[in-house]
Amino acid sequence: MQILAGFIMIVVGAFMVIKSETLLNIFGRIDFFEKYLGTEGGSRLGYKLIGILVIFFGILMVTGLVGGFLEWILSPILRVSQPIQQ
């Protein structure tokens, strides 16, 4: 089931990257992306970046590396929150 969900995420992410103009027409402009990612193409770029992130997490799901990746990303926070052992 995890593999199927990963492939679905990859397809949805690819759709978001390829059809960013369609997403812009359906959902409209996003002020955050317009402010920080450019003047006229910020929302399109934002939709594409979200699509690339969805593809990345889809690949992680297919390969079964989600847990290891999250451990690696969150390890500095988890290390600080652990009690000091004596």
Residues 46-85: tens digit of each pLDDT: 999 999 999 999 999 999 999 899 889 988 887 776 666 6
Rounded to whole angstroms, the Cα distance separating 9 from 74 reads 23
What pLDDT is stored for residue 86 in this prediction?
62
Q: Residue 53 has what pLDDT?
A: 96
Q: 3-state SS of the chain: helix, strand, coil percent to 5?
A: 80, 0, 20
Question: Is the separation of the CB atoms in 60 and 15 below 8 Å?
Answer: no
Spatial separation of the C-alpha atoms in residues 41 and 7, rounded to whole Å = 28
d(CA 13, CA 74): 24
Q: What is the pLDDT of residue 84?
A: 67
| Confidence (pLDDT) at 36 | 87
Q: In this predicted model, what pLDDT tens digit does every residue of 9-43 receive, in sequence order? A: 999 999 999 999 999 999 998 888 888 887 677 88
